[in-house]
Amino acid sequence: MEQEVELPQKFKLIFSFLVLLAGLGLYLYWAASYDAWTDIGLYAISAPIIGFGLVGIFLYTRKEIEEEDQ
């Protein structure tokens, strides 16, 4: 029988920050390297990555606030 491993909450927050930084880093690096600040393809890749990072941070902080209220 398999047991689920619970990840520490801090790990989830750190991972979300890394995803956010990866999205921002990708956008800044690619735009600066190829002078493509308004490239729709770049937006299509970096926006979801940045979005996942922001959502992860939001969910972590919401859970932390709910735990403090209880």
Q: Residue 16: what pLDDT?
A: 96
Instruction: Over range 64-70, report the average pLDDT.
Output: 70
Distance CA 51, CA 68 (A): 26
Rounded to 5°, angle at Cα 41 from 52 and 58: 15
Instruction: Over range 42-59, report the average pLDDT.
Output: 96
Q: How many Cβ atoms sit within 10 Å of the Cβ of residue 53?
A: 20
31-35, 41-45, 52-56, 61-65: range with lowest mean pLDDT:
61-65
Looking at the whole model, is its pTM more than 0.75?
yes
In 3D space, the residue among 58, 45, 47, 46 whose CA is nearest the CA of residue 17 turns out to be: 58
Domain ranges of the chain: 16-69
pLDDT tens column, 2-48: 777 777 878 989 999 999 999 999 999 999 999 999 999 999 999 99
**Element housing 69 (H / E):** helix 40-69
First CA to last CA distance, the chain: 33
